[in-house]
Structure 1
Amino acid sequence: MFFETMFTWMFKIALIILICSGLLVANIYFEVNFPKVNRVNLDSGKIPPGSKLSILQITDFHNWHPTDRHQKLLRDIRQLKPDLIVITGDLVDRKTVNFDNVFYLARELVKINPHTYFVCGNHEWANRKSQVFLSGLKNCGVIVLNNGHEVWSNTQLAINICGVDDPSTGRANLDKATKGINTEFLTVLLAHAPAIVKKPSITQADLVLCGHTHGGQIRLPFAGAVIAPGQGLFPAYDKGIYQIGPHTTLYIDSGLGTGVMPVRFLNRSQVSFITITGK
């Protein structure tokens, strides 16, 4: 009788563990493979009252290969009709040798909006075919802003769109990227890694858009990201909005792809739709 009872309890415990493991695997698969659109609302005194600027941010794509050739993601972006599309690095992986997948995405993004901007991440520079990739990306119509800037405008407003090369590999030159900008315009800075906020001249930027952290990939309730590259355990900057100065806001998107381990937990893959309203 005792052994029968023990066997029954062991069977129940094993069944519970099996069910929980199955649910965990299913959840991880969902979070990795079914991205969402994260909506972010900000305001700025440098935008005329009543006007709006919308930016679609894609980061840490890592040559992601969904089965539908990105069609759902592209449909979502078309429906949003962003004023700008920005890609904040790691579009490819360090081991990517065939760029057809990312070039297809790039061409489709440019069709949606020709104002599509890109800055390099650490994986672009670690890839042995980085120059081939950058040349191809430009041929797709993407505007590469590595330590440079442009002015974007419509009938209502004008903004500085600046980009630095990858901060995590020491290639960022923020002074060069912002040299000569009109400081009366809203300045949006694209940088792959949030390490850029350590630069003294970061105050030139009103809004800094980054990736690199993947949101930690694995997050814990209340504690947030467990680890992030370049920051170690329980990083200070992992995901979301941070006020890093009186007039400078940092936003970190957790991205679409994954690192070495194709795992996400409490951290669904995403793109961000950022709306800035004049105040």
Structure 2
Amino acid sequence: MNRRSFLKKIAGSVLAVFGIGGGTYYYARDIEPNMLNINKETIESAKIPNAFNDFKIVQFSDTHIGFHYTIDQLNDLVTKINNYNPDIIVFTGDLVDEPNTYHWNNKLIKVLRQLNAKYGKYWIYGNHDHGGYGTNIVRDVMKQSEFTLLQNNNTIISRGNEHINLAGIDDVMLGKPDLKQALNAASPKLFTILLAHEPDFADWAVKFPIDIQLSGHSHGGQVRFPFIGHLYTPAYAEKYVQGKHTFNDGKFTLYVSRGIGTTRLPYRFLCKPEIHVFTLKSSI
């Protein structure tokens, strides 16, 4: 930890201890974690075919079910996502908080299966999915929930006679990510979206023929303060914490989701949970 980060964390801790009263504590624990933000973005590119005009992608991430996030809350989220009539749905990792202690049952599968997307539902591993011996369990649950795993591979999404490419890598922290393999046989001429759980992977992905990277992992820091910002983010979410980041004069764009649930501490403060609703537009 460098000096700047250390001082930032100390200052944030002082504010947390002396500045948060009972009402604020209640808000951070019981109110804001349930205040879903819908982040709508339009993505324009000359590489997007005309057939994909108004094509809608919904991203959700980091539900961390079992740690202060319930199946009933997930069911409400599913309803909200379906209301946007997405063409595809992508989940960018961390389904449950602790796979080894979570009480797995068919109710979770039933709820996830209710998500509807005409051109498919796709997901990638997060670090919590691999952790706690969850690799095989989470894979089986998502398969039964009719999600397609993108683990160092890609798939072509076709609409009419035109196409875009959707790729995904394994988790950076606990998996074996291989971006070259993920893009194997993919045409660089196709508009390409990469799913990568950790946002800082963008510094590597920008070197490849990728247009958009969708990530989670950071939770936006979960707790943020004016003038200070976030107090802590996990490894590989230290540079790009939330929002939109552009590279190479706009040729590559990273979107970082604050996610849905919480982990380690059950609080969100000035950092509402969110989903992204992306609408594609051809700029030809």
Change (3 A) 1:249 1:25: same
Contact 1:97–1:129 (CA<8 Å) still a contact in 2? Answer: no
Contact 1:122–1:168 (CA<8 Å) still a contact in 2? Answer: yes
**Mean Cα deviation higher: 136-145 or 62-71:** 62-71
Task: Look up the SS of the partner of 2:185 in the other structure.
Answer: coil
User: Cα offset for 1:135?
Assistant: 2.0
Contact 2:87–2:117 (CA<8 Å) still a contact in 1? Answer: no
What does residue 208 of structure 1 align with? Answer: 213
Task: Look up the SS of the partner of 1:273 in the other structure.
Answer: strand
User: Cα offset for 1:113?
Assistant: 4.4
One-letter amino acid matched to 1:36:
N
Q: Is 1:98 aligned with 2:103?
A: yes
Q: Is 1:63 aligned with 2:65?
A: yes
Q: Is 1:236 aligned with 2:239?
A: yes
Contact 1:150–1:162 (CA<8 Å) still a contact in 2? Answer: yes
Q: What runs of 5+ residues in structure 2 fail to find an aligned partner? A: 1-17
Task: Look up the SS of the partner of 1:251 in the other structure.
Answer: strand
* Per-residue CA distance 1:45-72 (angstroms, 9 max, x = gap): 1113582221100111111544745343
Change (3 A) 1:189 1:21: same
How is 1:6-155 mapped onto 2 (pairs within 5 angstroms)?
A: 20-48=21-49, 51-63=53-65, 65-66=69-70, 68-95=72-99, 96-100=101-105, 101-109=107-115, 111-113=116-118, 115-155=120-160
One-letter amino acid matched to 2:186:
I
One-letter amino acid matched to 2:38:
V
Contact 2:192–2:209 (CA<8 Å) still a contact in 1? Answer: yes
Aligned residues: 260
CA separation in 2, counterparts of 1:201 and 1:82?
27
Question: Sequence identity of aligned pairs in percent?
Answer: 30
Contact 2:87–2:119 (CA<8 Å) still a contact in 1? Answer: no
CA separation in 2, counterparts of 1:202 and 1:275?
25
Task: Look up the SS of the partner of 2:40 in the other structure.
Answer: strand
Task: Look up the SS of the partner of 2:138 in the other structure.
Answer: helix
User: Cα offset for 1:74?
Assistant: 2.1
CA separation in 2, counterparts of 1:131 and 1:202?
31
CA separation in 1, counterparts of 2:55 and 2:232?
33
When normalised by structure 2's length, the TM-score is 0.82
* Per-residue CA distance 1:96-143 (angstroms, 9 max, x = gap): 43233542332112x454610010000111122421221232122110
CA separation in 2, counterparts of 1:32 and 1:201?
32
CA separation in 1, counterparts of 2:206 and 2:73?
40
Task: Look up the SS of the partner of 1:271 in the other structure.
Answer: strand
One-letter amino acid matched to 1:54:
K
What does residue 249 of structure 1 align with? Answer: 253
- Larger Rg belongs to: 1
Alignment RMSD = 2.5
User: Cα offset for 1:38?
Assistant: 1.6
Q: What runs of 5+ residues in structure 1 fail to find an aligned partner? A: 1-16
